[in-house]
Structure 1
Amino acid sequence: MGTYSNDAINQLKALIDQVEEPLKRTYQTVHQGYQAETLARFLKAREWNVTKAHKMLVDCLNWRVQNEIDNILTKPIVPTDLYRAVRDSHLIGMSGYSREGLPVFAHGVGLSTYDKASVNYYVQSHIQINEYRDRVVLPTASKKYGRPITTGVKVLDMTGLKLSALNQIKMVTIISTIDDLNYPEKTHTYYIVNAPYVFSACWKVVKPLLQERTRRKIQVLSGNGRDELLKIMDFASLPHFCKREGSGSSRHSEYANDRCFSLDHPFHQQLYNYIKQRSSESETSQPIKQGSFHINMPEPAVEGTEIAKTIESQMHKFEKGNGISGSLDRLKIKDNSDHRTRNCP
């Protein structure tokens, strides 16, 4: 980091050092010992404006306290069948690590339906994955590689996108807004794979709306991206939908048992068992009851809403003008610098 960056980090640190409990305690949970990297993330999200970054971080800390986020990893979603339904309809998982030690998170953008549980369960589960990543996965990787690892890479599978998926934009927007405001700059690179024909045209509409820094993070790969991704990770770390030769999803391939979205995958087994163990060790432990962990839902940013409407309008043009029935190419991207939630077709 340059002198300008270091000066901004030092200024922000001086301001954050003045916060009192309980904000100070939850701030420790956020930075996990990597203060400079954490402060830099919030500064990047606000174009290195110290005043705006300070407000963003304090707002984040207040959100965490008000919603008891520090305790969310002691709140398992039960019964297990309900959690399995959440996992089967919100397709996200961790498939491995890049050669640089960055965790690889896979997202089944096109096949996620969000129709097996209430909004609160999906939000709870998403935040639990975020917190497990930040408190367990990233610190473990940092120790292993002997350097701070505070970001990961995301591989977004566009297989199966349909026009009906527009109905899920509200759910995706809620999750993305939570990430934008409270987990900024956690993704080093977005890799887009299995993008259908209409993606390129819709991408032309959305791309100019993104910040340049965000555009540089996005790489649209040919087919399932297998060959390109093998340049940065070993075969074992590839998401299952990238392991087939050529293009297309491997949803029904010989790698179906390696689906990192499934509750049976080692990542989700470790995560779920970790939460159940933390719950049993909690001083205030009570018999686990069914019921979601309610989070105050943020208002989506105006910019994100406008982008979502632009995408929807573009897709309807495709449907009417090209006879493409039920086809939608939507890509979820976050630009944390200005609260924007992106759903790029």
Structure 2
Amino acid sequence: MLEKFSEQDRDVVKFLREQASTLLTKTYDTDYNLLRWAQGYNHNADEALVHLTRHLKFRKYYDLDNIHERKSDPILEKYFPLGLVGPTGKDNKLLVVECAGRIDLQGILLAVQLNTFLTQRFRFQERMLSEINRMERENGSQSSVTYILDLEGLKLDSKLLNVVTGPYRILWASVYSNYPEWIDEMLVVNAPSFIAMLWKAIAPLLPERTRNKVKIFSGSSDWKAEVLKRCTPESVPVHWGGTKVDKNGDTKCREILNIPNDLIPKTLYWVPTPEAPKFSDLTKIVIVSGGNHVVTFRVPFSKDPISIAINRFCERTYSMAVYHSDDDGAIDLDLHQMNDWAPDFDYPGMPTVDRVIAPIPGGGIVKVKFGNEQAWFRSLPVYYRISFVNACDQPIAYECIAPTAA
């Protein structure tokens, strides 16, 4: 495909491929995947490489190439569905519909742990990326998504603003920092009268390039005509302005789009377990604004796979990263001198105690960093419990070295 690119595109794509060759996998290494990183950072090759490298490490940490093999979470499948409709029929674009106005956002936070939430979203992102890559192979041109965010049914309550500007925003930031240029346009339809208040709170938190892709339409506007400017009628379900119905004649195509209508029953809300206890049973640290807290471990070497098991809880946005070295002298090394096995990302505060189990490269020195870099004034309480387990999820011996704050 490189022969179809501009000279500037070709130069940056070749640079990224050469510099990231040890991290690129066969699945992910396509010309258009690399081009998206060049476009997302205005063809600044060095800046694009920094973010691509971080993403490729994140891909390995989350095993994104194989995330489709993980089971879908039944609660999120039913109550927080995302709908991949199919090609738009125009300009090699893919149509996705999210009925966000019908989602019980507060119930999701109370029912689902963070890692489950992220895994479900990244499963969907990888499914979309796979379809985008297929369309690019078949049609020989770059593909991206026309995203309909339908707010029909959204009600204003006291918790909505906190959810939208907190966990929901961080989720989208995480998605966009790992999947640049995947959205061509986002059409926010059936926007309620209070959308101006929400947008005023959200817009400053979004990159300008992302903001410019968002078009907002009230329920009384002719937004269906706007949809059909971007899609052929037969590609769009009748409910959103097209002529498409599913095999049952459903105008919302619920055979492929699961549209939630109910609140999540409280019986499905998360409750503490031995694997993820209540937060008061975890170790508490308080991180000053702009600071971080590092916990260091010495893990014995083993021929068998070793995973790190992390419980974490925080009420506000925090960052986390995992660093590794097989050199015992790394105890005294700064973090930037070690391998950031799980690169530094922001995570949303949620009311559930999370549990993450992820493989590490092996024994040696492991450092886990929690950060409060976003805060200007407020300190941040973070609760955690960290251990190491074998392939059977059985604990193994390790040494915890005194944590440090910075």
Please report the TM-score for the alignment, with normalisation by the length of structure 2. Answer: 0.53
**What's the counterpart of residue 212 of structure 2?**
216
Query: 2:228 touches 2:242 (CA, 8 Å); kept in 1?
Result: no
**What's the counterpart of residue 61 of structure 1?**
56
- Structure 2 residue corresponding to 1:298, chosen from 345, 353, 378: 345
**What's the counterpart of residue 154 of structure 1?**
147
Please list the CA deviations of residues 40-63 of structure 1 after superposition, one character each: whole Å capped at 9, or x if unmatched. Answer: 211222232211111111111111
**What's the counterpart of residue 24 of structure 1?**
24
**What's the counterpart of residue 52 of structure 1?**
47
**Higher RCO (CA < 8 A, seq sep 6+):** 1
Q: Is 1:172 aligned to 2:172, yes or no?
A: no
In 2, Cα distance between equivalents of 1:220 and 1:48: 29
Question: Shift of residue 186 of structure 1?
Answer: 0.6
In 2, Cα distance between equivalents of 1:111 and 1:46: 34
**What's the counterpart of residue 14 of structure 1?**
18
Q: Closer, same or farther in 2 for the Cα pair 1:199/1:183, shift >3 Å?
A: same
Q: Closer, same or farther in 2 for the Cα pair 1:187/1:74, shift >3 Å?
A: same
Higher strand share: 2
Query: 2:161 touches 2:198 (CA, 8 Å); kept in 1?
Result: no
Three-state SS of the structure 2 residue aligned to 1:230 is helix
Q: Closer, same or farther in 2 for the Cα pair 1:191/1:50, shift >3 Å?
A: same
Question: Shift of residue 195 of structure 1?
Answer: 0.8
In 2, Cα distance between equivalents of 1:226 and 1:258: 19
Q: Is 1:110 aligned to 2:108, yes or no?
A: no
Q: Is 1:261 aligned to 2:257, yes or no?
A: yes
Question: Shift of residue 187 of structure 1?
Answer: 0.6
Q: Is 1:195 aligned to 2:191, yes or no?
A: yes
Please list the CA deviations of residues 179-217 of structure 1 after superposition, one character each: whole Å capped at 9, or x if unmatched. Answer: 122211111111110011122455456556655533432
Query: 1:177 touches 1:300 (CA, 8 Å); kept in 2?
Result: no
**What's the counterpart of residue 309 of structure 1?**
none
Query: 1:87 touches 1:261 (CA, 8 Å); kept in 2?
Result: no
Q: Closer, same or farther in 2 for the Cα pair 1:166/1:220, shift >3 Å?
A: closer
Question: Shift of residue 241 of structure 1?
Answer: 4.7
Three-state SS of the structure 2 residue aligned to 1:258 is coil
**What's the counterpart of residue 70 of structure 1?**
65
In 2, Cα distance between equivalents of 1:178 and 1:16: 21
Q: Is 1:131 aligned to 2:121, yes or no?
A: no
In 2, Cα distance between equivalents of 1:102 and 1:259: 21
Larger Rg: 2
Please list the CA deviations of residues 69-97 of structure 1 after superposition, one character each: whole Å capped at 9, or x if unmatched. Answer: 222111113xxxx52x3123213101232
In 2, Cα distance between equivalents of 1:38 and 1:233: 23
Q: Closer, same or farther in 2 for the Cα pair 1:168/1:209, shift >3 Å?
A: closer
Moved over 4 A (4+): 204-212, 294-297
| Aligned residue pairs, count | 253
112-121 or 98-107: which moved more?
112-121
Please list the CA deviations of residues 92-120 of structure 1 after superposition, one character each: whole Å capped at 9, or x if unmatched. Answer: 10123212231111112222222543333
- Structure 1 residue corresponding to 2:230, chosen from 221, 227, 232: 232
Query: 1:89 touches 1:116 (CA, 8 Å); kept in 2?
Result: no
Question: Shift of residue 257 of structure 1?
Answer: 5.5
Three-state SS of the structure 2 residue aligned to 1:221 is strand
**What's the counterpart of residue 33 of structure 2?**
38
Unmatched tracts of structure 2, length 5 or more? 244-249, 261-311, 313-320, 322-341, 349-370, 376-406
The residue type equivalent to 1:150 in the other structure is S
44-53 or 217-226: which moved more?
217-226
Question: Shift of residue 167 of structure 1?
Answer: 4.7
- How do residues 262-341 of structure 1 correspond to structure 2 at under 5 angstroms? 262=258, 298-299=345-346
The residue type equivalent to 2:24 in the other structure is K
Please list the CA deviations of residues 217-272 of structure 1 after superposition, one character each: whole Å capped at 9, or x if unmatched. Answer: 22223537212212222334335652499xxxxxxxx73563743199xxxxxxxx
The residue type equivalent to 2:147 in the other structure is K
The residue type equivalent to 1:24 in the other structure is L
In 2, Cα distance between equivalents of 1:116 and 1:261: 22
**What's the counterpart of residue 81 of structure 2?**
91
**What's the counterpart of residue 180 of structure 2?**
184
Query: 2:27 touches 2:65 (CA, 8 Å); kept in 1?
Result: yes
Q: Closer, same or farther in 2 for the Cα pair 1:86/1:47, shift >3 Å?
A: same
Three-state SS of the structure 2 residue aligned to 1:24 is coil
